[in-house]
């Protein structure tokens, strides 16, 4: 419950605002009971406090989402060192692949889509997380004929917690419509799901 509150301040604001408005409406219908106005006032104050708390605290899921967006910025800027800082120190193979990709392609933009979802396996030691999202990378291959092209992909990114930091340990990518496929199709084709 507290995780939901911290991750969705706009839902909290809408719900609290609606509740405050509804209780204010009821209070206005009973002018002979002026103490009823305490309910919408307290509701509004509690809602504001919870929204402020939600905006002030970054959840683990939000940290991972921020890391993904920061890594996308590093890829877009061709900054291998920044990108490597998000990869687990033991995953030299993943670092090598990223280094090769950044050298081979000219990346113009990386757009992480809004279907980004993060699931943390809180009982695992070390803690692990899986993030799924669609991404569109605009770039060009200097060795190939042709200009810039967009490459959409559905990405499954695996993280492991190292100290206080989340580090990428593995990456899978699939055709972009994989995020919209049925659970049965995903199982048959080895596409992880967060459901």
Q: Which residue has the higher pLDDT, 55 or 2?
A: 55
Domain ranges of the chain: 2-56, 60-189
Confidence at 3, pLDDT banded by 50, 70, 90: low
pLDDT at 7 over 80: no
pLDDT at 1 over 60: no
| Of the candidate ranges 3-7, 41-45, 81-85, the one whose mean pLDDT is the lowest | 3-7
Which of 7-11, 124-128, 174-178 reaches the highest mean pLDDT?
124-128
Confidence at 5, pLDDT banded by 50, 70, 90: low
For 77, half-sphere exposure in the C-beta direction (CA atoms, 13 angstrom radius) is 11
Distances (CA, A) of 97 to 33, 84, 91, 129, 177: 70, 11, 10, 21, 24
CA torsion angle for 69, 73, 75, 79 (degrees, to 10)? -130
pLDDT at 146 over 80: no
Given the candidates 1.20.1440.230, 3.40.309.10, 3.40.50.1110, 3.10.450.50, the CATH classification of the domain at 60-189 is 3.10.450.50
pTM of the complete model: 0.75
Backbone angles phi, psi at 89, to 5 degrees: -60, -30
Each residue's pLDDT tens digit, 46-93? 999 988 888 888 889 999 999 999 999 999 998 999 999 999 999 999
pLDDT at 2 over 70: no
């Amino acid at each position: 419950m507290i995780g939901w509150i911290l991750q969705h301040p706009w839902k909290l604001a809408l719900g609290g605002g609606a509740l405050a408005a509804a209780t204010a409406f009821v209070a206005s219908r009973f002018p002979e009971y002026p103490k009823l106005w305490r309910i919408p006032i307290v509701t509004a104050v509690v809602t504001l406090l919870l929204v402020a708390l939600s905006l002030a605290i970054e959840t683990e899921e939000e940290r991972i989402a921020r890391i993904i967006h920061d890594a996308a910025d590093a890829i877009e800027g061709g900054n291998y060192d920044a990108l490597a800082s998000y990869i687990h120190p033991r995953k030299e193979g993943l670092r090598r692949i990223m280094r090769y990709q950044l050298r081979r392609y000219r990346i113009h933009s990386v757009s992480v889509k809004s279907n980004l979802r993060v699931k943390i396996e809180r009982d695992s030691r070390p803690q692990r997380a899986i993030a799924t999202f669609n991404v569109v990378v605009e770039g060009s291959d200097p060795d190939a004929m042709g200009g810039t092209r967009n490459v959409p992909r559905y990405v499954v990114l695996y993280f492991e917690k190292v100290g206080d930091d989340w580090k990428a340990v593995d990456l899978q990518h699939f055709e972009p419509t994989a995020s919209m496929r049925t659970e049965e199709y995903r199982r048959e084709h080895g596409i992880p799901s967060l459901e």
